[in-house]
Amino acid sequence: MRARIAVLPGDGIGPEVAREARACLEQVASLAGHAFQFLELPIGSAAIDACGTPLPDATLEGCLASDAVFLGAVGDPKHDALPAHQKPEKGLLALRKGLGAFANIRPAFLHPALVNASPLRPEVVRGTDLVIVRELAGGLYFGEPRSLTEDTGTNTLAYSRFEVERIARVAFELAMGRRRKVTSVDKANVLESSLLWRSVVKEVAQGYPEVALEHQYVDSCAMAIVTRPTSFDVVVTDNLFGDILSDEASVLTGSLGMLPSASLGGKVGLYEPVHGSAPDIKGRGVANPLGAILSAAMLLRHSLGLEAEAAALEAAVGRTLDAGYGTPDLKCGRNHVSTRGLADLVRVNVGNLLLGTP
User: Interface with ligand NAD by CB under 6 A: which range of 21-29, 202-210, 277-285, 298-306?
Assistant: 277-285
Answer yes or no whether residue 89 interacts with ligand NAD by CB under 6 A. yes
Specify the residue, 20 or 163, whose C-beta has the smaller distance to ligand NAD. Answer: 20
The region of 145-153, 213-221, 285-293, 343-351 touching ligand NAD under the rule CB under 6 A is: 285-293
Q: Could you confirm whether 187 is annotated as catalytic? A: yes
Which CB atom, from 213 or from 270, has the smaller least distance to ligand NAD?
Answer: 270
Q: Which CB sits closer to ligand NAD, 69 or 353?
A: 69
99 lies in the binding site for ligand IPM (CB under 6 A): no
Binding track over 74-93 against ligand IPM, x by CB under 6 A: -x-------------x--xx
11 binds ligand IPM (CB under 6 A): no
Assess contact for 298 and 21: CB atoms under 8 A: no
Q: Which amino acid is at 138?
A: G
- Position of minimal CB gap to Mn ion: 243
Q: Which stretch binds ligand NAD (CB under 6 A): 140-148, 171-179, 262-270, 275-283?
A: 275-283
User: Known catalytic residue: 247?
Assistant: yes
Catalytic one of 141, 159, 208, 325: 141
For residue 243, state whether it binds Mn ion (rule: CB under 5 A): yes
**Pairwise CA distance, residues 205 & 173, whole Å:** 10
What dihedral angle (degrees, nearest 10) is formed by the CA atoms of 46, 283, 336, 339? 40
Least separation, in Å, of the C-beta of 206 and ligand IPM? 31
Q: Which residues on adjacent β-strands are paired with residue 336? A: 326
What's the one-letter identity of residue 203?
A: E
With CB under 6 A as the contact rule, the residue among 186, 238, 272, 314 that binds ligand NAD is 272
Is 238 an interacting residue with respect to ligand IPM (CB under 6 A)? no
**Does residue 306 belong to the site contacting ligand IPM (CB under 6 A)?**
no
Choose among Mn ion, ligand NAD, ligand IPM, none what residue 93 binds, the Cβ cut-off being 5 to 8 Å by kind. Answer: ligand IPM
For position 69 contacting ligand IPM by CB under 6 A, the verdict is no
Choice between 25 and 29, CB closer to ligand NAD: 25
Nearer to Mn ion, 15 or 276 (CB): 276
Question: Choosing among ligand NAD, ligand IPM, Mn ion, none, which partner's interface includes residue 257 (Cβ < 5 to 8 Å by kind)?
Answer: ligand NAD
Kindly state whether residue 42 participates in binding ligand NAD, applying the rule CB under 6 A: no
Question: For the chain, how big is the Rg over CA atoms in Å?
Answer: 20
Residue 219 known to be catalytic: yes
Q: Which residue, among 234, 249, 221, has the nearest Cα to 133 in the 3D structure?
A: 234
Nearest to ligand NAD of 143, 328 (CB atom):
328
Secondary structure of the chain in HEC code, one letter for each residue? CEEEEEEEEECCCHHHHHHHHHHHHHHHHHHHCCEEEEEECCCHHHHHHHHCCCCCHHHHHHHHCCCEEEEEECCCHHHCCCCHHHCHHHHHHHHHHHHCCCEEEEEEECCHHHCCCCCCCHHHHCCCEEEEEEECCCHHHCCCCCEECCCCEECCCCCCHHHHHHHHHHHHHHHHCCCCEEEEEECCCCCHHHHHHHHHHHHHHCCCCCCEEEEEEHHHHHHHHHHCHHHCCEEEECHHHHHHHHHHHHHHHCCHHHCCCEEECCCCEEECCCCCCCHHHCCCCCCCCHHHHHHHHHHHHHCCCCHHHHHHHHHHHHHHHHCCEECCCCCCCCEECCHHHHHHHHHHHHHHHHHCCC
Q: Does 347 bind ligand NAD (CB under 6 A)?
A: no
Binding-site residue ranges:
96, 106, 134, 219, 243, 247, 276-288
Q: Which residues bind ligand NAD (CB under 6 A)?
A: 13, 17, 73-75, 89, 92, 256-257, 272, 275-281, 287-288, 291, 329
Q: Which residues bind ligand IPM (CB under 6 A)?
A: 75, 89, 92-93, 243, 274, 276
